[in-house]
Amino acid sequence: MTDAVLELPAATFDLPLSLSGGTQTTLRAHAGHWLVIYFYPKDSTPGCTTEGLDFNALLPEFDKAGAKILGVSRDSVKSHDNFCAKQGFAFPLVSDGDEALCRAFDVIKEKNMYGKQVLGIERSTFLLSPEGQVVQAWRKVKVAGHADAVLAALKAHAKQ
């Protein structure tokens, strides 16, 4: 598949992204590499922890395939630093408190929490080609087996 499955506004590639560890980057800085961007609701919750650990366990294989991983939530950099330290994540987490990246990828959705409608991040993952095209998207992600599915898709796309 070479056609983009989601067209991102050009400005998305230059959004300043605050990372765990206190550094900054942009999506453009990752040009030339495959990029896995996974959006998750909240640091240190069971599903989000499992998802992060699953990606972390496969990190050597993602690296071998030429891919970088970024996890994204609305949590603060400090929260991300604590989450990374506690779980041993070897990839950065993006603090998207203003939801600019979340909105560019259209992952802010209405959810039902304890009988109340709230806006939150819908667990989603996107695979970007080295040219910056979104070549595959997973929405309403179920955590079990997801990181493996993303790795398999990366390998399939990288062969094309």
Counting the structural domains of the chain, the total is 1
Q: Provide the residue type at 140 as one letter.
A: K
Domain that holds residue 151: 10-159
Give 85-129 pLDDT, tens digit per residue: 999 999 999 999 999 999 999 999 988 878 888 899 999 999 999
Does some domain include residue 39? yes
Given 48, 94, 135, 151, the catalytic residue: 48
Helix (H) or strand (E) holding 48: helix 46-57
Does some domain include residue 127? yes
Burial track 35-69 (b if 16+ CB lie within 10 A, e otherwise): bbbbbbbebeeeebbebbebbbebbeebeebebbb
Give 57-69 pLDDT, tens digit per residue: 999 999 999 999 9
Average pLDDT over residues 26-40: 96
Does some domain include residue 129? yes
CATH number of domain containing 137: 3.40.30.10
Does some domain include residue 147? yes
Judge whether 84 counts as a catalytic residue.
no
pTM of the predicted protein model = 0.93
What is the average pLDDT score of the chain? 93
pLDDT of 7 reads 85
